[in-house]
Structure 1
Amino acid sequence: MKYVMMICDDESTWENLSDTDRKSGYDEIWAHIQKWESRGRYVDGGAELQSRATARTARVNGSGEIVVTDGPYTELKELIGGFMMIEADSIDDAMETASEWPGIKYGAVVEVRPIVTQEMRDAA
């Protein structure tokens, strides 16, 4: 089954690291990705997202019109900073991979959710 692993963090934590610590963090992340890719756990890629300052949000206002605003839709500190696609036999197996995400030690929170498949839609 496929899962998406959403990496949520306060981007200021990463930005405030020294260049050395940031490089070390990226090295740990790449080692983690290589480990789980070699085991067939990471599939279909993933990506680090740019800063929330680059985001734009679309919503419908009270008049039914689409309104586009700069920035994320919420003022939370913890936002999705990246994602990975996981192939695993169970949510527990997916969580094994997620729980080793190196950013956790920098305060990241990793949420894992199953992907909705066509079979699930057909059964609904």
Structure 2
Amino acid sequence: MRYVMILTGDEAPWFDEQTSQGLMEEIITWWGKWSEAGKVEEGGAELAPSTQAKTVGRGPGGEPVVTDGPFLELKEVVGGFIYLNADDIDDAVAVASTWPGIAAVGDRVEVRPVMER
């Protein structure tokens, strides 16, 4: 079954050169381990900083309105997502719980089944 790991957290450490360099090495190792095990699919995405985002919402007359940055003023933002292949939700959570960003910078990882229609 397919699942998505949604990576969230404070994005500041991701763009701190000293923190991100060591963390990226751990992520490359993590990716290799779970790819070889058949648990990680190609695809997914690391997202640019939220300061580069645009948000499209509904204006007062129903027309689209575009604003700079993320819509919500939160410290935690979505930083990326990874597709998983797992036997069940518990298997997917077991893989997600080894994400290096959890221990290194306090990332939170949401695991959600992919809708197959």
Q: TM-score, normalised by structure 2?
A: 0.93
Which residue number corresponds to residue 116 of structure 2?
117
Counterpart Cα distance in 1 of 2:37 and 2:70: 35
Amino acid paired to 1:7: L
1:4 aligns with 2:4: yes
Structure number, greater radius of gyration: 1
> Any stretches of 5+ residues in structure 2 without a counterpart?
none
Name the Cα RMSD after superposition: 1.2
- How many residues of Structure 1 are paired with residues of Structure 2 in the alignment? 116
1:22 aligns with 2:23: no
Question: How far does residue 15 in structure 1 lie from its aligned partner after superposition?
Answer: 3.0
Counterpart Cα distance in 1 of 2:7 and 2:50: 14
Question: How far does residue 31 in structure 1 lie from its aligned partner after superposition?
Answer: 0.4
Closer, same or farther: CA 14–44 of 1 in aligned 2, 3 Å: closer
Amino acid paired to 1:25: L
> Any stretches of 5+ residues in structure 1 without a counterpart?
119-124
